[in-house]
Structures are given as structure tokens and as C-alpha cells.
Amino acid sequence: MTPKTLLFLCVANAARSQMAEGLARARAPKEWRIFSAGSQPGRLSATAVAAMREIGIDISAHRSKGLDQVPVQDADLIVTLCAEEVCPVVPGGRARRLHWPLPDPAATADPAARLEAFRAVRDELAGRINELLKE
């Protein structure tokens, strides 16, 4: 069987897609290839790292990447995670596509509520990825 290649996309590749990549890497079969990227890569969110560390997944070595830094054309599944922003568009290809419009937790203005927003998105991603892996 050919290993699955899964790609998570958002704008900055700083929070949602990074958490999704970490969750999928931890839960998918080891032969799967898991990537994340953004249309305007920024910087990995320290709050995303902290939220993932709470559940035993270390994404601190992750780096934000652009679409040109991942094997987009090899993807079997592309999951876009934008809600308020314009998601990256990947033309053509054979990949199945899913859209999970999750709010950007980094956009939470109240610093006291920010970590909770990251936890909520992390937990939603975890549930969706678990369901996806059952398919």
C-alpha cells in the first residue's frame, strides 16, 4: 500500500495547521507523510507549542513553511483550516479536499483567554483527526 500523504493548510502556518500536523503525526500510521504549510508563512506560535505540550506532543521543532516547501502535488488529502481568512488555494491535483473552518486562536485579543482558545482549537482538531483516521 502506498503511504498516505496528508497536508494541512492555513495562512500563516503558525497555529492551527501546526497543531494539526503534530496531532496527525502522533496518531496516524507511521508510514503516513504529514505536512503543514501556509500561503503567507509566519512564525510558529509559542502558545500552540504550549497547548500541544499539555497533551504530550512536542511541536517546538516545527517551522512555518510555504506551499513551495512541501510536496503539495503528492498529497492524497488536503485539509484547509481557515475561517476568517482567505484560505490557500492549491489548483488541480488528485488530492481529496476537506475544509475545516476553525477560528484562529491567535486572534483572541484577551491574553487570559488566548491559551483557552488554543486548547479549544486543539481539541476540535484532535476529534476531527481521530474521525478522519477511522475512515
Whether residue 2 has pLDDT greater than 70: no
* C-beta of residue 8 within 8 angstroms of C-beta of residue 58: no
DSSP summary character for residue 120 = H
* Cβ count near 39 (within 10 Å): 18
Summary mean pLDDT of the chain: 93
pLDDT for the residue numbered 81? 95
Q: Rounded CA gap, 133 and 81, in Å? A: 17
Angle at alpha carbon of residue 33, lines to 28 and 38, rounded to 5°: 105
Fill in the amino acid letter for 103: P
Question: What is the SS3 assignment for 57?
Answer: coil
In a domain, 134, yes or no: no
* Within-domain flag for 135: no
Contact 12, 48 (CB under 8 A): no
Query: For 51-94, what is each residue's pLDDT tens digit?
Result: 999 999 999 999 999 999 999 999 999 999 998 778 877 877 78
In a domain, 78, yes or no: yes
Residue 102 pLDDT exceeds 80:
yes
d(CA 49, CA 31): 24
Residue 16 grid coordinates: 492551527
The answer to the question of residue 109 being in a domain is: yes
Q: Which domain holds residue 60?
A: 5-129
What residues are labeled active site?
10, 82, 87
**Domains contained in the chain, number:** 1
Provide mean pLDDT across the span 95-109.
93
pLDDT at 88: 79
Q: Is residue 14 part of a domain?
A: yes
Flag whether 40 is in a domain.
Answer: yes
CATH number for the domain including 124?
A: 3.40.50.2300
Say what the pTM is. 0.95
The model's pLDDT over 31-56, given as tens digits with 9 standing for 90+, comes to: 999 999 999 999 999 999 999 999 99
In a domain, 60, yes or no: yes
- Distances in Å between the Cα of 114 and the Cα atoms of 31, 46, 95, 124 are 34, 11, 33, 16
